[in-house]
A and B are shown apart, each in its own frame.
Chain A
Amino acid sequence: MIRSIREGRQRFFDRNIALLMILPAIIIVTVLIVVPMVYSFYLSLTNLNLLHPSRARFIGFKNYLKLLEDPIFWRSLMNTVIFMGVAVNVEFFLGLILAQLIFKVTRGQSTVRTAIMAPMMFAPVLVGFQFKWFFNDQVGLVNNLIYFFTGEYHLIPWLINYPLNLFALLAAEIWMSTPFMVIILLAGLVSLPVEPFEAAAVDGASSWQQFRYITLPLIGPFTYIAMVIRSLDLGRAYDLVRIMTAGGPANRSEMIWTYTFRLAITDNKFGMGTAMSFVTVVLSFAFVIYLFRQLAKSRQEVY
């Protein structure tokens, strides 16, 4: 009797094992991410202000309409697009060049690989603080090095003037994330078959031709995987911007993430902040889905 109950229980467990094993993950993600995000969407339809929480009222989509009319919103969006666009492309090309260079190193290649991973050990916050210091106009290393090499001291306001602060942010972001590209593309280069290269060499193809017509197409899937993970980490750049410029001065280096924080926490306009956060979430989703499609497509082309 007892035995058959136990067996019955065993059978129930075995039959539903797929669901039972996923259940804890679903519960936690639902309780701590999905439910809060739904709640956040509700908040974005109110005029909740943290200074006067009791005065919160339901105001429909007014926050979103207000954002559309807000010039700083558009500026933050434009800055983000420029920042991400330049960063991802520069990181990819630098990463490809470095991966190709390291791939052909004959001695100490594993040491070189470890050394290039150094920036990946840094928390983005650390990178932010360090580069804030390097680019400081008074005591920063960059201005100091310019003085060291030219003998003239200029107070270049790296973090204050508009295109300059975007450049400083990009320098930090590129230093931080290029090694990631290098590692993934190196893994790609190592996995490529040898035969096409040998055949091309026999046919007299130059090394540029081999790179352009064999390496680049074959490495496609790796490129997209690198891009997908980078875009999953989209918000990581928030840490950098928040620390180096905090979106300032006067919103000149504002990005969508820093503007979210400014609206909700600094300005206490929680309703507006959550509306802004939904715009960032929708944009992130669109980007991720687009890249996943590209990834699937590039895989079909190769195999």
Chain B
Amino acid sequence: MSPSYVKRVSARKKHWQQGLYNVIVYVIVLIFFLPVIWIILTSMRPEVEVNARPPIFLPQKLVFDSFIHLFGAGHAEKSVPFYNYLGNSLFASLLSTALALTIGTLSGYSFARFRFKGSNSTFIGMMLARSIPGIAVSLPLFILFARLGLLDKKMGLSLAYTAMNIPFTTWLMQGFFKDIPADLDEAAQIDGCSRWQSFTRIDLPLALPGLAASGIFAFLTSWNEFQIASVLTRTPASKTFPVGLYDFTQQFTVDWRGMCAMSVVMLVPAIVFVLLTQRQLVRGLTFGAFK
């Protein structure tokens, strides 16, 4: 990864010096990582340790009460409608991702390959739509959805998420398609492919990594979304995990351990996706703006 000049310079450096440097950087990065470890440990420690003073760093023993309680196994006294939240979160995230990915890929391709009257201003308009804070969109949607009977429905939430995800997906896919040489399209069209065929047979397969990255982005955006959900959802019929976290707070007390357990569950898809697609993720974050 590091360019050759770094290697040459470090080869001249004393070996232990570079080793010490590495260790110092490890420690600094670990500081950023510590809250993650703390949350996972908290979800698995005995109740008495959670708010112990002075703090107990390593749990005396690992217990899984909080998870058992969350999943409602064994006894029925479940305080949080976990499976409702899980179902709603999955429904809204998956549906909006599928829709936004299909629609955003089409429009991204069009922006990358074709120039037409007003294409530039349409593109800028899309990017401005992306920068509208979710809270600002959710207010009129609240009134409109109430009239259309979409309030507190997971379908309504999914539609809102689809609209919020389309501009960013368009932007990402546009970058990925621009990286594919247009010569390939032209060659295919000379050989008798229609424009649509050259899109489905040439460009789409080549853009698969980009498609995966965009899909993950859209999924995680919806999975983690809070602003719109906090306005448009009211009951377990449509509440998702981020809104559901509030269930652990009562008037004066908070069940921090239970909350940590649900946080760990929420983290699972993010961790899996990030580990699977690290390379595309970095490309996606910089949205193909440079190579």
Contact = CB atoms under 8 A, between A and B. Distances in A.
Interface in B269-291: 270-271, 274-275, 278, 281-282, 285-287, 289-291
Q: Which residue of A40, A103, A178, A194 has the most chain B CB atoms within 10 A of its CB atom?
A: A40
A179 B282 CA distance: 12
Nearest to A40: B140
Contact of A14 (B2, B103, B195, B224): B195
B1 A102 contact: no
Interface string B92-117: 00000001001110110111011110
A101 B170 contact: no
Contacts, number: 273
B290 to A, nearest CB: 6
Given A10-B194, A123-B242, A225-B289, A112 B26 contact: yes
Contacts of A158: none
Nearest to B123: A22
A106 B18 contact: yes
Interface size class of A (residues with CB under 8 A): 35 or more
A148 B285 CA distance: 40
A25 interface: yes
B126 A29 contact: yes
Interface string A251-292: 000000100110011000010011001101100110010001
A125 B289 contact: no
Contact of B114 (A18, A24, A134): A18
B53 interface: yes
Given A119-B32, A123-B223, A280 B18 contact: no
B133 A238 contact: yes
B136 A37 contact: yes
Contacts of B107: 21-22, 24-26
Interface in A225-266: 225, 229, 231-232, 234-235, 238-239, 242, 257, 260-261, 264-265
B129 A284 contact: no
Q: Which residue of A22, A103, A148, A270 has the most chain B CB atoms within 10 A of its CB atom?
A: A22
A43 B143 contact: yes
B63 interface: no
B141 A36 contact: yes
Given A183-B282, A187-B286, A225-B289, A21 B106 contact: yes
Interface stretch (B4-12, B64-72, B73-81, B206-214): B4-12
A242 B227 CA distance: 9
B35 interface: yes
B28 A106 contact: no
B216 to A, nearest CB: 12
Q: Which residue of B111, B164, B242 has the most chain A CB atoms within 10 A of its CB atom?
A: B242
Interface of B: 1-7, 9-10, 18-19, 21-22, 25-26, 28-30, 32-33, 35-36, 38-39, 51, 53-55, 99, 102-104, 106-107, 109-111, 113-116, 119, 122, 126-137, 139-141, 143-144, 159-160, 162-164, 166-167, 170, 194-196, 223-224, 226-227, 230-231, 241-242, 245, 254, 256, 259, 263, 266-267, 270-271, 274-275, 278, 281-282, 285-287, 289-291
27 contacts: A14-B196, A17-B195, A18-B114, A18-B115, A28-B99, A29-B163, A32-B137, A43-B140, A102-B29, A104-B2, A108-B22, A116-B33, A118-B36, A122-B36, A123-B241, A124-B226, A133-B256, A139-B53, A145-B55, A183-B285, A198-B5, A231-B131, A234-B131, A238-B133, A242-B230, A257-B135, A288-B127
The 5 A-B residue pairs with the shortest CB-CB distance in the complex, in nearest-first order: A235-B133, A123-B224, A18-B114, A32-B163, A25-B107
